[in-house]
Structure 1
Amino acid sequence: MEEEERRNEAHEKKKEEKAFKQRIWSWGAGTDGQLSTGTLQDHILPQLLHHPSLSSAAISSLACGGAHVIALTSAGKVLTWGRGNSGQLGQGELTNHVLYPKPVTSLDSFFITHVSAGWSHSGFVSDNGCLFTCGDGSFGQLGHGDYISHCSPLKVSYFVNRLVAQIACGMRHSLVLLKDSSMNQVYGFGFGKRGQLGISKEKLKSVNIPEVLSGFEDKEIVEIAANGDHSAAVSVDGHLYTWGRGFKGCSDAHSPQLLNSSLSFTKATLGWNHALALTGEGEGFMVGGNHLGVLTDPKNLNPAKQPSENLRETNMEKVPGLDGIKISDIAAGAEHSALVTENREIKTWGWGEHGQLGLGDTSDQMSPHTVSLGCELNETESIRIFCGSGFTFALTMHSNPSQH
């Protein structure tokens, strides 16, 4: 009898694990509904979300913007919520805030594979390489050849005969990466005064049609990133390039600049004043200065004495306190940072005014502190982390590939 009970318990446990998809937590700034908690308020501790639209669909990725969020499902569908006053939610109307995830139905006939959320605009890429944008277009950041805002995703006609792989939306600019393209891989459009478009040495105010970046002719780019007035790209051989507004001590760069490092990077994420980069060995590094969200030794706060061409190397430092612990994921908010360790711990630091660090208070932190999700993780769960301008999301995934 006991043996049968054990078998039944094991059977029930397997059923539960099979039914498990993922769990999602949010914390930080919530006054625009971006946390999807059903309230218009900040939360200083992680909130486990229970909305049916999130629990009934397998969420494969999130994109967090100024105050809105885009969720991408494994079935290629898109959900959005949060601030929508510029049309960035893509739901066909302007709205101050949407409290819960709503489907972007105009994209239902496409299988979306990549999404990005800027300060107040959004981008979506389909499996057949089409690009759609919506939201604030006042700087040309939608790429439609005008400065008009749109509240429904509109196909970017410039790329109609090309295959788009990724879009990265910054504060007022956008980057696009083409797939299977040995030439003319990366394009920029939108606000360009700080060099973030990477298309001209002149101080361009704005460009409303995509223009190709120079400098990547003999490089294969695999990932692009944008936030604030910054841009970045990672090449297949692990090189990290940055351009746009200069980090601490650096002048603005109007074309991609190679970070002078022997490290091999796999991912880069940008804040308003800093960048985080992850190596293939699971080490995290920061580029930037003495601003919240960036760790730095107080004795290094003075402008560096080296010539400016060396500053890109001297400004990089390793995330401390993680010796011997590998990092599996990184994310940068406007002025805060987050990472996930190989043993599935979430650590945050930086600006904390809205509770975006998830530590139970609104204090700023200059070193990584561990976030408690308030529950034990299933042994099959892995974690990904996502940051908006003042808020954070954690998404657990089932480690069984069939569940992704």
Structure 2
Amino acid sequence: MKLMEEEEKKITEEEEEQVWWSWGAGTEGQLGTGRFQDEHLPQLLPSLSSSGPISLLSCGGAHVIALTTSGKVLTWGRGTSGQLGHGDLVNSLQPKPLEVFKSTVVTHVSAGWNHSGFVSDTGCLFTCGDGSFGQLGHCDYKSHSFPVKVSYFASKHVEQIACGMRHSLVLLKGHSRDQVYGFGSGKRGQLGICKDKIGSINVPQVTLGLGHVKITSICANGDHSAALSADGNLYIWGRGFSGTSNDYYPQCLTSSLSFTQAALGWNHALGLTGDGEVHMLGGDRHGELSKSQKMTPVKHLSEGSKEAIMEKIPGIDMIKVLEIAAGAEHSALITENGLTMTWGWGEHGQLGLGNTSDQSNPQMVRLGHICTNRHTTFKVYCGSGFTFAVRKDRLPSRT
């Protein structure tokens, strides 16, 4: 039985070919190009394309974590806090396998500003990197250059980890209550563990106000946190958007929209609906939100929900969007036709347009592809000032 499963897995992996590109900030090796330099145009990454099918990529402050379909992990980029997990404090120009997980199947990963999180198929959580704010969850403020198991969750089954700038979120599997935990910096309310301002917490604490809903995914970036529920509601907490006050526990965005994906930047949030429409909250500093758009002010309600309208992104009317991603202050999306589009802050070339200009509206990135094959899919991922994109070609099944 085991041999049969391994053979089926091998066939599945061989049926998918991937082509990867990266661009933007690269001075710490985070682009995986083998060079310590920024790139203003998309660069092909043969080394990543040949490393086997990748199911998930997570881009942090200046490092990247890749998870293969077989549950193996590769890391590269900035490693000065031990966030790459290789036991040293050096940068890596190329994707490097994480040997500590050689005998472990990893199912989820997340890259924060200077720390990393890994979840195994048995529900164990491992973290490494900067721990000076308690964001590793080890009940101290120590940093680690190797992934260390978080003992607090030893009797629980972790499903997802989301790493922000100085904080982390955890989603447990199969729990109707006490399902989301936060630890690390809570100065802006990003942990969601109390209704008042706090400092740092090095022991995981239950995030308040989510016990009555089923959460399916979590995300964190900067000093923000967010969660999506099974019924399509978006909950946000942490630093206030567009100059509004901080939220110290989750607030539900009251809206008629049903969201399937969410992404967070440092000053903006994106939401993707089931109809393929992209909506945004906040983010008018570098054009993440169109300068012509006017945001509806956020109002706090007595019952703990938030009345806010996430405005639809301009310039892409009648275009269905399948994927979204957010960096520090730039954004990206994939259309149903396989087009990659970016907008926002462009100082490091992270928009992939061949220049360092900011863009208020989505612009097409030329990767030389148009999706005309129903067996071809695309995804995009954003780090703080850089971007990755992948084309996945599903090959005919072997008989």
TM-score (norm 1): 0.90
**Structure 1 residue corresponding to 2:62, chosen from 61, 67, 80:** 67
Q: Which position in structure 2 is the counterpart of 1:398?
A: 393
CA distance in 2, matches of 1:158, 1:402: 43
Letter in 2 for 1:300: K
Q: Which position in structure 2 is the counterpart of 1:4?
A: none
Q: 1:387 to 1:306 in 2, by over 3 A?
A: closer
Which aligned pairs between 1:56-95 and structure 2 lie closer than 5 A? 56-95=51-90
Which aligned pairs between 1:173-192 and structure 2 lie closer than 5 A? 173-192=167-186
CA distance in 2, matches of 1:273, 1:305: 15
Q: Deviations over 1:213-266 (max 9, x none)?
A: 111111000000100000000000000000000001421000000001011111
Q: Which position in structure 2 is the counterpart of 1:33?
A: 29
**Cα displacement (A) at 1:398:** 2.9
Q: Which position in structure 2 is the counterpart of 1:10?
A: none
Letter in 2 for 1:67: A
Q: Which position in structure 1 is the counterpart of 2:113?
A: 119
Helix, strand or coil at the partner of 1:259 = strand
**Cα displacement (A) at 1:267:** 1.1
The answer (yes or no) to whether the contact 1:86–1:120 under 8 Å persists in 2 is yes
Q: 1:104 to 1:307 in 2, by over 3 A?
A: closer
The answer (yes or no) to whether the contact 1:115–1:125 under 8 Å persists in 2 is yes
Q: Which region of structure 1 is more displaced relative to structure 2, 281-290 or 36-45?
A: 281-290
Letter in 2 for 1:26: S
CA distance in 2, matches of 1:330, 1:365: 17
The answer (yes or no) to whether the contact 1:87–1:151 under 8 Å persists in 2 is yes
1:49 counterpart = 2:48 = no
Q: Which position in structure 1 is the counterpart of 2:384?
A: 389
Q: 1:344 to 1:27 in 2, by over 3 A?
A: same
Supply the RMSD in Å over aligned alpha carbons.
Answer: 2.1
Which aligned pairs between 1:235-274 and structure 2 lie closer than 5 A? 235-274=229-268
Q: Deviations over 1:179-214 (max 9, x none)?
A: 001110000000000000000122111000100011
TM-score (norm 2): 0.92
Letter in 1 for 2:116: S
CA distance in 1, matches of 2:331, 2:306: 20
CA distance in 1, matches of 2:30, 2:298: 42
Q: Which position in structure 2 is the counterpart of 1:357?
A: 351
CA distance in 2, matches of 1:245, 1:401: 47
Q: Which position in structure 1 is the counterpart of 2:19?
A: 23
Q: State the number of aligned residues.
A: 383
**Cα displacement (A) at 1:110:** 1.1
Letter in 1 for 2:85: G
The answer (yes or no) to whether the contact 1:167–1:177 under 8 Å persists in 2 is yes
Unpaired runs of 5+ residues, structure 2, are 1-12
**Cα displacement (A) at 1:320:** 1.5
CA distance in 2, matches of 1:332, 1:289: 11
CA distance in 2, matches of 1:27, 1:155: 33
Letter in 2 for 1:205: G
CA distance in 1, matches of 2:287, 2:293: 17
The answer (yes or no) to whether the contact 1:288–1:315 under 8 Å persists in 2 is no
Helix, strand or coil at the partner of 1:79 = strand
Q: Which position in structure 2 is the counterpart of 1:3?
A: none
Letter in 2 for 1:368: P
Name segments (4+ residues, structure 1) moved above 6 Å.
Answer: none
Q: 1:192 to 1:142 in 2, by over 3 A?
A: same
**Structure 1 residue corresponding to 2:329, chosen from 317, 325, 335:** 335
**Identity, % of aligned pairs?**
62
Letter in 1 for 2:127: T
**Structure 1 residue corresponding to 2:219, chosen from 214, 225, 240:** 225
